[in-house]
Amino acid sequence: MKNTIITVLICAIFQMVSAQSYFPTIKNNTELHYICKLHGQTRTLTLTTKMTDDGLVFNLNTKGVKNSTIKIQQEALKKGNALSYNQGEDLEVIVLKPTETFFMISQSAYQHLEKTNQFIYNNTIYVLDKNKDQNSIVIEGKTVEALHVIAQIDETEMWIVKNPEYPLICKITKNPLGINWTLVKIVDK
């Protein structure tokens, strides 16, 4: 009887620990799998990461569209204030401006969000939604702690992974540009 109770207790503790939040990180060759809604069309997008001294490189792979490489400069990772919506169709290699990030916000914007409950990106103020029920996303059955923000000029909503080094946007909805996406899978290679 004592062994049965101990076994049940260990299983319960294991279940509680495994149900803890998942904090995704970006490393070399991390694959980020997104479902994108672009102007009424649905596409899958895989971003494969590469760390460089100059910044972060995303290799884009979208079925039916020319694959591209997008380079985020180190300055933008630290202090960027604009999100690039470039779809990688124009050039094979796209180097973003020193103010632009791609599928993430900058470290300084993230810090500002944590300190003041808001940040400015693309000249739009995003305010933290304090409804705790909205501040998580489930990816492959794992709960990812996120900061849910809402634009003050329109109805755009973003969920940003709680990761001060690489604050990925894991979901965006109601974007007036008609470009919305959801992170559905992360593969570390």
Burial 152-186 (b: 16+ CB within 10 A, else e): eeeebbbbbbbbeebbbbbbbeebeeeebbbbbeb
pLDDT of residue 16: 43
Residues 6+ apart with CB under 8 A from 30: 48, 49, 186, 187, 188, 189
Tokens of 62: 């979208």
Q: Which two tokens stand for residue 55?
A: 């910044």
Amino acid of residue 117: N
> Residue 86's pLDDT is what?
84
Cβ pair 74, 45 in contact under 8 A: no
The pLDDT profile of the chain, 189 residues, written as one tens digit per residue, is: 554 444 444 444 444 444 456 777 889 999 999 999 988 889 999 999 999 999 999 999 987 676 889 999 999 999 999 999 887 666 688 999 999 999 999 999 999 999 999 999 999 999 999 887 777 889 999 999 999 999 999 999 999 999 999 999 999 999 998 999 999 999 988
CB 54 within 8 A of CB 73: yes
Tally of CB atoms within 10 A around 113 = 21
Buried b (16+ CB within 10 A) or exposed e, 71-82: bbbeebbeebbb
Token pair 């109805």: residue: 155
Are 162 and 169 contacting, i.e. CB atoms less than 8 angstroms apart?
Answer: no
Query: Which amino acid appears at position 139 of this protein?
Result: I
At residue 4, the pLDDT reads 47
Residue 90 has a pLDDT of 63
